[in-house]
Amino acid sequence: MQNQNQNQNQQQFMPSEQVQSQFNHGGHELFDAHEAISGIVGGLEQCLLYEQHIQDPELKSIAQRQRTFISQMYNTMVDTLKTGKDPAVKTQSYQMAEDNTTVYGMQPTQPKAPAQSVNELNDQCISSFMMGNLKSSATAFCTAALETTNPVLRRVFQDSIPNLIEMAYEIFQYQNKHQYYQVPQLKQEDMQNYINSFAPIQGGMNGGTMTH
């Protein structure tokens, strides 16, 4: 009779499919997910501070557009983390406004020192803050995706990484255009040596199988 009662209790408290999905997470996964999502929270909160100091309307437009996109990314992450299932709003694709034209070469600029007051913060500072947050989040998302066992959450992290890269690249293009982020080049002969330092594999590739 005691065994029968125990079996009934076990059946009564058997987790539903929804609860099973909700707790379908590993320990490392939750630690990394918490760090990655917390980074997004910090980035969004810092955006609130940055935007009031932005002077260039173009940078302000980029900041607002990216904040809107990241806010939806955050909601998708939280939804997936809580349910373990497909989120109500799936991962979107970020389309940057900047073009892909990079200006190469170095131009003389004034040496930079850390700002000593809030009034000294300018668009160069703020765009650098934005770039730093995006780079940090891209690294955290990649780490989380490598540790995540829940297939839906892993896919959300994985599919969000290209969006973070795209946003960081948009900031880079903005900085490069305004000479905040200059790109030096090697001498042409040195560049050519680096480009030609690898050769393709010759012959047929059989996927590593032995031939007899």
Tens digit of pLDDT for each residue in 97-132?
877 889 999 988 888 889 898 888 899 999 999 999
Measured between alpha carbons, how far is 23 from 85 in angstroms, rounded to an integer?
Answer: 11
Measured between alpha carbons, how far is 191 from 186 in angstroms, rounded to an integer?
Answer: 6
Partner residues linked to 105 by β-bridges: 183
Measured between alpha carbons, how far is 133 from 47 in angstroms, rounded to an integer?
Answer: 10
Measured between alpha carbons, how far is 194 from 196 in angstroms, rounded to an integer?
Answer: 5
57-83 and 151-177 helices, crossing angle to 10°: 170
Measured between alpha carbons, how far is 208 from 156 in angstroms, rounded to an integer?
Answer: 33
Compute the radius of gyration of the chain from its Cα atoms: 24
Q: Read off the pLDDT band of 27 (50, 70, 90).
A: confident
Write out 160-193 in H/E/C secondary structure.
HHHHHHHHHHHHHHHHHHCCCCCECCCCHHHHHH
151-177 and 27-51 helices, crossing angle to 10°: 30
Pick the CATH number of 21-95+120-195 from 1.10.357, 1.10.150, 1.10.260, 1.20.1260: 1.20.1260
What's residue 22's pLDDT? 60
Measured between alpha carbons, how far is 133 from 46 in angstroms, rounded to an integer?
Answer: 9
Over the stretch 161-200, which tens digit does the pLDDT of each residue have?
Answer: 999 999 999 999 999 999 999 999 999 999 999 999 999 9
How does DSSP assign the chain, residue by residue?
-HHHHHHHHHHHTPPPHHHHHHT---HHHHHHHHHHHHHHHHHHHHHHHHHTT---HHHHHHHHHHHHHHHHHHHHHHHHHHHSS--SS-------SS-S---BB----PPP---SSGGG--HHHHHHHHHHHHHHHHHHHHHHHHH--SHHHHHHHHHHHHHHHHHHHHHHHHHHHTTSS-B----HHHHHHHHTS--PPPS---TT----
Q: What does the domain layout of the chain look like in residue ranges?
A: 21-95+120-195
Over the stretch 40-52, which tens digit does the pLDDT of each residue have?
Answer: 999 999 999 888 8
Q: How many CB atoms lie within 10 A of CB 193?
A: 11
Mean pLDDT over 54-59 rounds to 96
